[in-house]
């Protein structure tokens, strides 16, 4: 479980708009920081293999993008400006996630493995009290991500509906991004936060999302680890506890480690020979990645019409990654993207 520094929520609880905006910016950076590690694992799966595993990871990435949009809508709705286009907000790997405590999990860029999913990805998404279908509950320490978001909700309630000043047409809505919530008052703000938390952790009584029909991220990753889909327990009674309502006994999920590309762990642009094909491919990827963040910065700051351009850059980024990892543009070598800030391709 990721533990956050308690001081992140120290100013929350009352009607302090600046404190809420600072916390939401931290939340935006936290949500963004999970995407490159998930994508790196996804890119390491050889094309045409591990299809179910790839589908699960991709589904989580899509929802993390939604969480970024929701956090940005919350900031914009309260009259702030989300920041996503500066080097200060770009995560560095390996490293701790934004706001996490010193003893917390170190996250890097690694090829996909069952160990990575269980040791890192599930720990990122783990709720305070997971609905475990085996004994895994840990004692709470510091502040959890869920508690952090609850503190934000409390402050938003204290601010009241009058605090929301942004024109709803400037926010990214469900017409462009499915399940996006336009934030215009306390109720919609709380709904946006509940979506972020529940899609990652599930609810306190079931592993299902609040929005959508899939299981929360923690339980989706656990499906990969267990090698089976999570299904309703046909032998459970209505009054049985939540842990007995589901079983990892559905369709098999086969993970073939031999179909994982031999990508480097925690690559950096500086780690590739200067001017070589790996260096040039990584630099171009980082340049596209930075441009994507700059366009998303525009989208999240009142220009939702730019979302189409962002989608185009996402598709280009994925193709570049596939060409790097399979050696198409790197002389046959499996090269991993480093997700670094690269404002110029030179």
Write the DSSP assignment of 78-112 as a string of letters: TT-----SSGGGS--SSEEPTTB-TTS-EE-----
* Domain shared by 33 and 92, yes or no: yes
* Domain shared by 286 and 304, yes or no: yes
Strands (E), the chain: 3-4, 95-96, 106-107, 143-144, 228-232, 246-252
* Domain shared by 37 and 183, yes or no: yes
Structural domains counted in the chain: 2
* Domain shared by 193 and 297, yes or no: no
Residue 108: inside a domain: yes
Least confident residue range of 56-70, 196-210, 259-273: 196-210
* Domain shared by 308 and 199, yes or no: no
C-beta atoms surrounding 115 within 10 Å: 11
pLDDT of 245: 85
- pLDDT of residue 288 exceeding 70: yes
What pairs with residue 208 in β-bridges? 215
Least confident residue range of 73-87, 98-112, 258-272, 324-338: 98-112
Residue 346: inside a domain: no
SS3 label, residue 237: coil
d(CA 251, CA 232): 12
Range of the domain at 315: 269-325
When the pLDDT of each residue in the chain is averaged and rounded to a whole number, the result is 90
C-beta atoms surrounding 225 within 10 Å: 17
pTM: 0.91
pLDDT of 116: 98
Least confident residue range of 127-141, 237-251, 318-332: 127-141
* Domain shared by 291 and 199, yes or no: no
* Domain shared by 203 and 311, yes or no: no
Residue found under tokens 């079983």: 247
Residue 41: inside a domain: yes
Tell me which DSSP letter residue 260 carries.
B
- pLDDT of residue 41 exceeding 60: yes
Which residue, among 249, 220, 224, 223, has the nearest Cα to 234 in the 3D structure? 249
* Domain shared by 252 and 289, yes or no: no
- The kind and range of the H/E element at 228 are strand 228-232
d(CA 131, CA 129): 6
* Domain shared by 10 and 150, yes or no: yes
Segment 68-75 mean pLDDT: 97
Give counts: helices (H), strands (E), the chain.
Answer: 10, 6
* Domain shared by 198 and 290, yes or no: no
């Amino acid at each position: 479980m990721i533990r956050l520094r308690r001081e992140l929520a120290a100013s929350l609880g009352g009607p302090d708009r600046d404190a809420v905006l600072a916390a939401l910016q931290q939340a935006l950076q936290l949500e963004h920081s999970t995407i490159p590690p998930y994508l790196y694992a996804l890119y390491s799966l050889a094309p045409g293999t591990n299809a179910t595993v790839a589908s699960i990871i991709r589904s989580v990435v899509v929802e993390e993008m939604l969480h970024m949009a929701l956090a940005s809508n919350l900031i914009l709705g309260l009259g702030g400006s989300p920041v996503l286009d500066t080097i200060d907000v770009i995560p560095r790997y390996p490293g701790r996630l934004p706001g996490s405590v010193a003893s917390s999990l170190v996250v890097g860029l690694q090829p996909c493995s069952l160990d990575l999913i269980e040791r890192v990805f599930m720990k990122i998404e783990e709720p305070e009290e997971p609905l475990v279908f085996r004994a895994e509950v840990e004692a709470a320490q510091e502040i959890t991500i869920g508690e952090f978001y609850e503190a934000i909700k409390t402050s938003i309630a204290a601010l009241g509906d009058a605090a929301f000043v942004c024109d709803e047409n400037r926010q990214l809505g469900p017409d462009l991004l499915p399940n996006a919530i336009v934030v215009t008052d306390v109720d919609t703000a709380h709904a946006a936060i509940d979506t972020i938390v529940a899609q990652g952790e599930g609810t306190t009584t079931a592993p299902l999302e609040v929005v959508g029909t899939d299981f929360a991220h923690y339980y989706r990753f656990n499906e990969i680890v267990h090698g089976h889909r999570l299904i309703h327990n046909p032998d459970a009674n209505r009054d049985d506890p939540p842990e007995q309502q589901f079983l990892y006994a559905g369709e098999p999920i086969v993970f073939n480690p031999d179909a994982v590309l031999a990508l480097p762990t925690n690559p950096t642009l500086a780690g590739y020979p200067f001017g070589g094909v790996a260096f040039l491919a990584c630099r171009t990827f980082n340049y596209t990645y930075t441009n994507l963040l700059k366009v998303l910065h525009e989208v999240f700051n009142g220009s939702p019409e730019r979302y189409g351009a962002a989608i185009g850059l996402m598709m280009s980024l994925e193709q570049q990654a596939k060409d790097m990892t399979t050696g198409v543009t790197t002389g046959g070598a499996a090269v991993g993207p480093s997700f670094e800030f690269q404002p110029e391709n030179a």
